[in-house]
Amino acid sequence: MVFLLFMLSATLAEAASFPLPPEGETLIGKVQETRVREGETLLDIARRHSVGLVEMENANPGVDPWLPKVGQKVVIPSQYLLPNAPREGIVVNLPELRLYYYPPAKPGAQRVVITYPLGIGSEGRAIPLANTKIVEKKVDPVWVVPESIRAEHAAEGEFLPKLVPPGPENPLGRYAMRLGLTNYLIHSTNRPFSVGMRVSHGCLRMYPEDIESLFPQIPVGTPVSIIDQPYKVGWHN
């Protein structure tokens, strides 16, 4: 019998669909290895395995994130424990910078859990802990720039417009899902390197390819639990 204790600092990873273990068991995934391909960075590898960049850096100390050696072996930190929360809808564990989605059961099919890395709010800007839900979904959203963000940038000599139309300059990317919390979204990003970091003004950022996959699966009304579990404990076998 193996006892597992994970202290989370941003080192868990991999976005994939896994069979949902029975109640009382929480371990999913496994640690993997790969080799650097010609012309790719750790960010490219992170995105290929749906892992945050900082997770990859922590798992591979000494590896240059932007100029890794071709053929160099790197670790994909892709084994983790499910958070202690109801296995329904979306669960966001802030210390882990990770989202878990539990699709509804399908007749005759085994349930699965799908997980993705997130970029979250910087120090003092974290999204509040809450039980909420998805209240709106938009493709190619217009970013209505909050006055607080405009004032912050203006103080640094950068003047933002009140509205940013869809396109490559829009920080929301192509997909956005609004939560039942004022002004908070789960959205794509035009800065993929920020996924897996604490850099946003409070919203939850996803890799463009991850939210493109998740977006059509999420109906309006899907429950969302935002939790704070920096330590997770579980049993395996």
Of 49, 153, 201, 203, which one is the catalytic site residue? 203
Which member of 49, 153, 187, 201 is catalytic?
187
Q: Is 203 a catalytic residue?
A: yes
Dist CA 207 CA 148 (whole Å): 25
| SS3 state of residue 56 | helix
Q: In 36-55, which positions are buried (b, 16+ CB within 10 angstroms) versus exposed (e)?
A: beeeebbbebbbebbbbbbb
Is 187 among the residues known to form the active site? Answer: yes
- Alpha carbon 51 to its chain centroid, in Å, reads 8
Strands 143-144 and 163-164: antiparallel
Q: How far apart are CA 153 and CA 147, in angstroms?
A: 10
> Half-sphere exposure of residue 206, counting CA atoms within 13 Å on the CB side?
24
State how far the Cα of 57 lies from the Cα of 11, in Å rounded to an integer.
9
Residue 76 belongs to what H/E stretch?
strand 73-76
Active site residues: 187, 203
